[in-house]
Amino acid sequence: MGATVISSANAGLTMGKELTIIVPVKAAVPNITAVRLDPVTHNLVREGVPLMLNPYDRNALEFALRLKDKYGGRVVTLSMAPPSGKDFLESTIGMGADEAYLITDRVFAGADTLATSYTVAMTVKKFFPSFNLIVMGEETTDSTTAHMPAQVASWLNLPYLYYVVDGEVNLEKGTIRLTRYLEDEGVYEEYEYNMPVIISVYKDSNPPRDISLSRKIQAKLSNLVKSVTNNELKLDPFCVGLRGSPTIVAKIEDAKPIPRKKQIFKGDPREAAKWLIENLTKEGVIRL
């Protein structure tokens, strides 16, 4: 494993002495077993569908919390979501985050990843100009684009590293050494960055800790989830929400089930492989 020191292109951001980690999350993704698309608008139908915090964002939050456990500082979660997203952000505080920000406004509705990443980046820039690290999940379960981390990094003009599984911070030097895992190659790589920097965490790494019910209740009672609207951000309405989203779903098709013959082999198990290969060859599924 090699290590490379990379300087950050700061873009007007300054780094504080206390470790400040921002964890953007998608607060209300639909349960993927109940996802439906509107045949007219091609948007996800969310009414009547059970929602949950994006599971890969919990891996990212766990990564951030482990750094906080080791080096101190604070962890802040934020999400662009309807008002109902507040409950999911309270769950992030239940996991160990110190506070959360709910970015919610009608003008943000219907945003694709470009408009969403812009809104998230501008929120970070306004409220946390001295952050050290942004930690994001690899992707979301409802769209699986993996666009958001790279786009936020682009808006903030900061380096971005993906598939991260571990990190070590040197606050005196203002650097972070990151380890990432490349699944296809089966290898680990090490990089060292001057902070601030943005990373996405390899999904299924860093199994998330349990949510503390008492912390979640305290978050609700102490109003630790703050709401942010465009009154505070003052973003151009043509750059956010549906009007700021160039993505168009031109067509959708239902995936029809593949007809199956449902044949069952009941003979000698030692002959099963031969029987399977013969049938797959006959159907043209494989060629010998």
Kindly list the domain boundaries of the chain, sorted by start residue: 5-244
How many Cα atoms occupy the beta-carbon half-sphere of 130 within 13 Å? 7
Determine the pLDDT at residue 36: 65
**Nearest-angstrom CA–CA distance, 287 and 277:** 9
> Of the ranges 27-41, 215-229, 262-276, which one carries the lowest mean pLDDT score?
27-41
CATH annotation of 5-244: 3.40.50.620
**Nearest-angstrom CA–CA distance, 277 and 281:** 6
pLDDT category at 2 given cuts 50, 70, 90 is low
Say if residue 15's pLDDT is above 70: no
* Contact by Cβ (8 Å): 23, 60: yes
Mean pLDDT calculated for residue range 63-74 = 96
Determine the pLDDT at residue 101: 97
Determine the pLDDT at residue 22: 98
- pLDDT, averaged across the chain: 87
| pTM for the whole structure | 0.79
> Of the ranges 25-34, 153-162, 232-241, which one carries the lowest mean pLDDT score?
25-34
Residue at token pair 């699986």: 144
Report the share of the chain in percent with pLDDT over 90: 60
For 139-192, how does the pLDDT look when each residue is reduced to its tens digit (9 = 90+)? 887 777 889 999 999 999 999 999 999 999 999 999 999 999 998 888 999 999
Mean pLDDT calculated for residue range 89-97 = 95
Contacts of 127 (CB under 8 A, 6+ apart): 101, 228
CA angle 231, 236, 143 (to 5 degrees): 95
Determine the pLDDT at residue 53: 87
Mean pLDDT calculated for residue range 59-85 = 95
Mean pLDDT calculated for residue range 192-216 = 93
pLDDT category at 45 given cuts 50, 70, 90 is low
Determine the pLDDT at residue 11: 46
